[in-house]
Structure formats: structure tokens, C-alpha cells
Structure 1
Amino acid sequence: MITHTMNQKIHANSKAMSTWLERMVKSLGNHSDRLNAINIFPVADGDTGSNLYLTARSAHDAISKLETENIGELLTMASRAAMESARGNSGTLLAVFMAGLAEPLCGVERITAPVLATALERGKVRAWSALSDPVSGTMLSVMEVVANTARATHRASELEPESKAALVELLDALCIDAEKAVVATENELGQLHEAKIVDAGAVGMLIILDELRGALLGQVIDPDEYSQLHGYGIQDPHIHHDVVHDSGVEVMCTISLDALGAATLRGQLDTIGDSVIMSPVNPTEDGYRWRVHVHVPDAESAMSVIRGIGSPVNISVTDLCTHDG
């Protein structure tokens, strides 16, 4: 996906990670229409591209004026902002993934192959565990593949682990395998196989990882390369218009809970809805501030459950039938 080198110097500091977020926003913005066009899972509402773009923009806006050498601090601030204003399943999972990435990078001032492999593993674990019912053939699959590839590449490498060459080797390997994982989604999910397309969120994740590689290595992504993915040609119709739409609403909110309260809420939401995502945003005196996401037949069914356990804020309710990017 990389076409030419801007310069040969490798950038692996907090400035490079800020550049990554900036590039992520621009690239997701450029690709949002195409991603929306192939968005049919988990809901055929044609907004995955928009949700990823708006969530990434919140992350970048939060750190645009931050001056720090601490990469973990930068990504933590970005991920918390993303979590608070995350849009949809895809945006929420991106925010959770970024929060996971940040954890092993606390106090780190330079990205190396070992630390990136650890961060990708943590991001994968956070994203998979946030969902009550994680599904393969989605952006989760891409996260899992790149985490496994990074770990395997790092362990098998004969290069000095902290060297720039080892970082290049790892980035090259994970982006190649990320693309393979995107291609594989078409045969992992029945809806995608029938429509002969790849998963929109998975493509979004590939774009995000390509931009990470580009930001660290000072390289430019060729956007036309993605057109080779099934269903991703610019002339392709918005296929979700022909898919039967789910009824109901998407409810999102933020709520402070202790561990028992969080487990109780997740269990109750699992009973009344689906696409349940719960992830801690930041610690509080008694537990964590949680971001909650669920699809339910009607908003009040979810809100009554949530209010029975705590005091939600930053509430959003979106109709799954009518919103379209």
C-alpha cells in the first residue's frame, strides 16, 4: 500500500504518533464514503466510514496542542476523548483499541518493535474483551491478526530488537497480514460472502494501520490500492440499501461503576439487546468511568436498566433504521 518514500529517517516519537492521528483522520475522511457504501454488518446502516472518521477526529483534536514526549500520555488522552464521543460499533472499537495501545506505552518516548508488539496485543485484548459477543470477519479479526503477526515477527527476527530495522520489519509484516485479514473477512461472515464484499470496519482498520506505518517510516499511502478489495471500487453502489434493515436504536452513554455494577449492567444489557460494548475510560474513586454501547428495540428499555444501576451522562440515541452516515 506504500508507494514512495518522503524521506529515509524513521520517526518513532510522540510527534510521529500525533502525525499518525492526523493522517488517520485525513485518510478516514477521504475513504468514508467508500466505507459507508459497503457497511452491512452488524447493521446495514451505511455509516462505518463516518463513525470511524468522526471518532478519530475527536482523538486528534484532543491532543492537537498537547506537548509531551510520553507516547502513552498522548494516546491515553486521545483514546479517552475518542471514547467519550465514539460513534457506532466501529468508532467505539477504535477508541477501545487505542486505549489498549496506550497502556504499555506509558512513559515510553520511542516506539520499537518489542513495545509496538506489546501495544498491539493489548489493543487487541481490550477490543475483544469489550464486546459481549465478539464476531470474527470484522475489524476485530484484523486486530487479532496484526497482534499475532507482530508477536511472531518480533520473536523470529534476527535483528537487534531495539533497532530501526526491526521496527521496519515488523511494520511491513503486520500491514501485509492486515490486508490478507481484510480479504479473508468476505468468507468469514455469511452476509459479506453473499454480498461479495469485504468488511467495512476491517478496511478501516487496515487504513489506520497503513497510516501508522506511513507516519513512522515517513511514507505515503496510495489510496487507489484499496480499490482492489472486493466491493471497494468507487463506482460500486451502496449495497446496504438492498439489505433488510434492523429496527431499533443504538444507545450510548458514559457511566461510573464499580466492578460489580459493570458486570451487572453488561449482563442485563445482554439480555435485552445486542452489540453490547463496555469499556473503561478512566479510573474513579470507586471503580471506572465506563463507555456503554448497545442496540435495543427501544431506548427506554436500555435507559431504565442503565439508570437502575447508575447515573448515565453523555447519552446518545440513534435510530438504526434511518441514519445513513
Structure 2
Amino acid sequence: MLTAKIEVSELKEMILSSVSSVSSKKEIIDRLNVFPVPDGDTGRNLSLTLSVIGDKLEEKSYQSMDELANDLEESALMGATGNVGMLLAQFFGGFCSVIRGNGGVTPELLVKGMMEGSRSAYHAFTDPKEGTALTVLREMASGASESLEENKNPVEVLKDAWLNGKQALRKTRDMLPELRRAGVVDAGGLGVLCMVEGWLKALGEQPDQEDFSQAKPAYPKSSINFRYCTECLLKSRADSNGIKEAMRGKGDCLLVAGEKGFVKVHLHTNDPSDVITTCKQWGKLKKVKIDDMKKMHQELLFKDDLNGQDFC
């Protein structure tokens, strides 16, 4: 498909296509989930986040890029679930800040949007790790930028971005000790690659996705230091850096994302009530979600043991 720019209607279809692309592979993505916590929910969380976005966009016919960008950014934050969902919300926040005010997404805007999206995703983390979805997003943006030197077609630029992301994903296996021990690539990295695969399919391309369906990681049986994945949605215009400072020492995997008067806080902690109390000091609490990751991990190990047994 040759085009000079991606129109508003096409961008909508790209996002909707990514919903089905990730949903079709969420079980595979879950199976690879060993970092940052081996709780087997990365595919589910990414799929849930994209589904909220898809539900919002599907109900409207957009006449302007601003209207689409506003709904995309807002629904991504409201629907953000887990580490990967928060990362995606920040990515779309950065991406949308670039495409607003334009009649279509040119190759130059696509590159700039992907780079700003990657930068925003990194900024959400207090301790960003390489070998994760962050790496894959950054390398896709880098691949798009390099492609722009030779291509003036957004589809070709996006294809090169995807190919660069695919190469980066393969390398994640050796970038984090947890992934190296388990013998898998990063689950979140595969997830965002599947998302962009969906974008390409909506533009008439059929990228040759690598098959990870046979991967069977060696799940670590070590203890989880912080048991509860705690997420709070606040109605607040507080500075995200201030909230990050207030949350230091209360757990790990801290992410803070916000837009248009709302802030979402994600933290792995042993004391969710303390996190909630602290969040209330920064704004009006609108929603709380708490998952017991230790229980999820034990269920994952049990399922893995069952799969390895012969009941005949």
C-alpha cells in the first residue's frame, strides 16, 4: 500500500487492528512473562488496555486527528493495566502529542511520534530496564528514523520499524539475567511488536511474525519480594515527579502516568493501604486495583507442573 500519509480513518483502523493482533497472541505472551515478576499476566494486561482503547475508538467516526488523538490518549490512561499497560499509556501520550494539529500522519510525523512515545514511556519509570518493551519501542523508533532517510512512505517506514523491533526482541533474551535463565524473550517486548504488526495489517501488509508459541520458560520458583500489584487512578494535576518521590521506598516497579487532570500510579508493594493513603494526599481517588502476584505466581507454577505430567 503506497500512501503519502496515514489518514485519520486509517489510524483508527490501525489501532483497532492492534487490539485483535495482541488478543490473538495474549496466551503466548503470558507464557513468556518472567520479568519483572513471573505472574503470567503481561498478555492479558496489554490486551485489556488495548481493548479499552478499541471500545472507545470504535464507537465514533472521527473527522479530525485532534479528536482521535484525544480519545486515544485518554482511553489508554484510563484502561492502562499492569506494567505494560502503563508503558503503553505513556507511549500513546507522547505519540498523540506529536500528531495533534495535523491532517494526517506523514512519515516524518510517524517517526517523531514513535520517538516521543518511546521517550515518554521511559520517563514513566523510576528505574527503566533495558531488555524490556522499552528497548523494543526505542529500537522500533530508531528503525523508523533510519528508514526515513531513504523512504518517504509511512508504510515502508513502519515496516522497517517493525523489522528493527523484531531484531531487538530477539536480543532481549540475553539482556536480562531473568530472561536468560528462563530462555525466553521479553513478554512485553513481544506484545508491543504484535501491536505494530496489527498496524501493518490494517495498512495491507502481512509481516512475517516469528513463532514463539512453542516456548516453554523455566519459571523461577524464587520468592516475590513485593506481593501486591497496586494501581490507583487519581483525579489530580499533581506533578508526576512529586508522586514518584512520595512513593520511593514503598515497593518496586513504580510507574506514574498522567494526562488532562488524571494520574495513574502503579507499584508493587507489601502494603497497598499505605500506597492508597499516600495517593489520597495527591488527589481524589477514582479507582483502585490490587492483584496478589504471589498467588498468581503459585497458580502459574501449578499449571506448569500439570502440563508436564502424564495422566494416561
The answer as to whether partners of 2:237 and 2:263 remain within 8 angstroms in 1 is no
| 1:300 and 2:279 are equivalent in the alignment | no
Q: In the alignment, what sits opposite 2:255?
A: 277
| Counterparts of 1:26 and 1:108, CA distance in 2 | 27
- Name the counterpart of 1:172: 159
2:118·2:138 contact (CA, 8 Å) conserved in 1? Answer: yes
The offset of 1:134, in angstroms, is 0.7
What are the ranges of 5 or more consecutive residues in structure 1 without an aligned counterpart?
1-7, 283-287
Q: Distance in 2 between matches of 1:69 and 1:194?
A: 50
Deviation at 1:70, TM superposition (A): 2.3
Residues of 2 paired with 1:180 and 1:144: CA distance? 12
CA-CA distance at 1:259 after TM superposition: 4.5
Match of 1:208 in 2: 195
SS in 2 for 1:67: coil
Q: Which amino acid aligns with 1:99?
A: G
* Rounded Cα–Cα distance in structure 1 between residues aligned with 2:218 and 2:73: 31
1:184 is matched by which residue type in structure 2? K
Count of paired positions: 296
Q: TM-score, length-normalised on structure 1? A: 0.85
Cα gap change, 1:190/1:38 in structure 2, threshold over 3 Å: closer, same or farther? same
Q: Please, what is the CA RMSD of the aligned residues? A: 2.0
Corresponding position: 1:226 with 2:213: no
Tell me the residue number matched to 1:108.
Answer: 102
Q: Where does the alignment leave 5 or more consecutive residues of structure 2 unmatched?
A: 301-312
Question: In 2 relative to 1, CA 70–243 (structure 1 residues): closer, same or farther, beyond 3 Å?
Answer: farther
5 Å-filtered alignment, 1:1-325, equals 8=1, 10=3, 12-154=6-148, 156-157=149-150, 161=152, 166-216=153-203, 218-221=204-207, 225-227=209-211, 232-234=212-214, 236-237=215-216, 239-240=218-219, 242-246=220-224, 247-260=226-239, 262-282=240-260, 288-323=261-296
Q: Are 2:35 and 2:178, in contact at CA under 8 Å, matched by a contact in 1?
A: yes
Partner of 1:5: none
4+ residue runs over 6 A deviation: none
Counterpart code for 1:182:
L
**Partner SS state of residue 267, structure 1:** helix
State the secondary structure of the residue aligned to 2:266.
strand
Q: What displacement does 1:141 show?
A: 0.2
Report the CA distance between 1:268 and its aligned residue: 1.9
SS class of match (1:292)? strand
How many angstroms apart in 2 are the aligned matches of 1:48 and 1:93?
12
Identity of aligned residues (%): 24
Check conservation: 1:72, 1:103, Cα contact below 8 A. no
Measured after TM superposition, the shift of residue 258 of structure 1 is 4.1
**1:33-91 CA distances to partner (integer Å, 9 max, x unpaired)?**
10000101111100000000010000010111222232343133123112112111011
Q: Which moved more, 1:302-311 or 1:41-50?
A: 302-311
Tell me, yes or no, if the aligned pair for 1:13 and 1:69 is still in contact at 8 Å. no
- Normalised by the length of structure 2, the TM-score is 0.88
